[in-house]
Structure 1
């Protein structure tokens, strides 16, 4: 990691290497402020992937992409690069995880185009969606049958932050996202399955816009390193993209 990270956090002296630390942004737009650090030639994605090792595809939330599109994206990045893909709005927000069999199967078939570079499915839930055990079990039975991708869930309703839900997430090997700003008590810390830690930094105090200063990035860097050293593959995605701050933050902390 860069100067904002924890000093002395390398792997020297450990018998086993720590899991991957993946830093990226929601999408791969290149703000002109950072273009010189991501030089041509190549597409924006190719240039982005020379400096960062992960990206979150948010466009899948609103619209479908062909398998060939995912295949093209996968072919544009190095072998060690990974994609996280956000589940469609129709599944999470419109249907509330109910009656999604065909839609989810289609999504799985499309994202399979990423091949070995598919890292994570991101499931962001609407604030109104309360936890329901029957819905949870039915939906994640289907998820487990559709894809081998890791799963990170970002609930935004207080009913998801209980010991019962935590146990279910661990049993299902589902990570709960750590979000900033934390909209619900407990949502600022990673939870669920400890094999994956997924941080989504949306911009604070103004969501999607605010830039994180050097001190905030240093603090975040310590948290990422701590998660990685407990044995989790650790993702950090900056979603403060509206004014172009995300890329700068990712580059500084990577």
Structure 2
């Protein structure tokens, strides 16, 4: 996509705002917000328009499983799918053709409900331009959809021009780990946030003042026309569900 096309695509109407959680477990204290019959995913999808599939990071899922998940949610629901740690942590982005083919063949069964791929890197993986370019080239040969990266080594700050070239957004994360990851960056065609909870990562709920500021920032970011994602990953104590529900209220969705 050239700059003129991108500028035109991002200057029309506000982009959709996607709010959800890492996974779709329903904390007991929030069960009244998810009434009715159905699986956890079916009930979850009546309130939220996205979910991040993290289990794909740890183990492969059968294509039929992805197809079943796609059939369980409304047509406008979108999944973010985490790229396996085999690719990111074990192979370290090298010689990953077979693993990429297998993964994309599996999650591709989500069809139009596949919103983006999430590549989370280990803290030990530094930015090495040649290896990164080979990986993103191979990925783009296989997948034309949206991709977001969450690097955890400071040297990836140098990689932002390459991310933009390969249409890869960089997640804004909390707590921040790098000098440039407190806000979404990289390719401007996608804005993606992963909120892990603070001060206790994965456990702490976000306070009302934080959520009010966050809602305003998401609305502002969506004005570019880019899809704007916010995933709560403070799931260990169920805080993600409550935070996501409250953020939807603040957004007026």
* Offset of residue 230 of structure 1: 2.2
Q: Which SS does the other structure have where 1:56 is aligned?
A: strand
Give the equivalent residue in structure 2 for 1:172: 166
How far is 1:16 from its partner? Answer: 4.0
Match of 2:210 among 198, 213, 216: 216
TM-score by length of 1: 0.92
Q: Give the SS at the match of 2:180.
A: coil
Counterpart residue number, 2:36:
40
Measured after TM superposition, the shift of residue 148 of structure 1 is: 2.6
Structure 1 moving runs of 4+ over 2 Å: none
What does residue range 67-106 of structure 1 map to in structure 2 within 5 Å?
Answer: 67-106=63-102
- With over 3 angstroms needed to count, the CA separation of the structure-2 counterparts of 1:16 and 1:134, relative to structure 1, is closer
Aligned position for 2:223: 229
Aligned residue pairs: how many? 238
User: Which consecutive unaligned segments of at least 5 residues does structure 1 have?
Assistant: 1-14
* Larger displacement relative to structure 2 (83-92 or 165-174): 165-174
Separation of aligned partners in 2, 1:166 and 1:183? 16
Distance 1:197 1:22 in 2: 10
Cα distance in structure 2, aligned partners of 1:180 and 1:232:
21
TM-score calculated relative to the size of structure 2: 0.92
Whole-angstrom distance in 1 between the partners of 2:62 and 2:108: 10
Q: Deviations over 1:216-249 (max 9, x none)?
A: 1111111111111122210000000000100111
Q: Which runs of 5+ in 2 are unaligned?
A: 1-10, 249-253
- Determine whether 1:160 maps to 2:161: no
Residue aligning to 2:145: 149
Question: Alignment partner of 2:108: what SS?
Answer: helix
- 2:107 alignment counterpart: 111
1:209 touches 1:245 (CA, 8 Å); kept in 2?
yes
Report the Cα distance in structure 1 between the residues aligned to 2:217 and 2:156, rounded to whole angstroms: 23
How far off its partner does 1:98 sit? 0.7
RMSD: 1.0
What is the aligned counterpart of 2:194 among 200, 224, 235?
Answer: 200
CA distance in 1, matches of 2:155, 2:223: 30
Q: Deviations 1:38-96 (Å, cap 9, x if unpaired)?
A: 11211100000011000000000000000000000000000000000001011111111
Question: How far is the alpha carbon of 1:186 from its aligned partner?
Answer: 1.5
For residues 73 and 146 of structure 1, the distance between their equivalents in structure 2, rounded to whole angstroms, comes to 22
The alignment partner of 2:106 has SS state of helix
Partners of 1:149 and 1:86 in 2: CA distance: 14
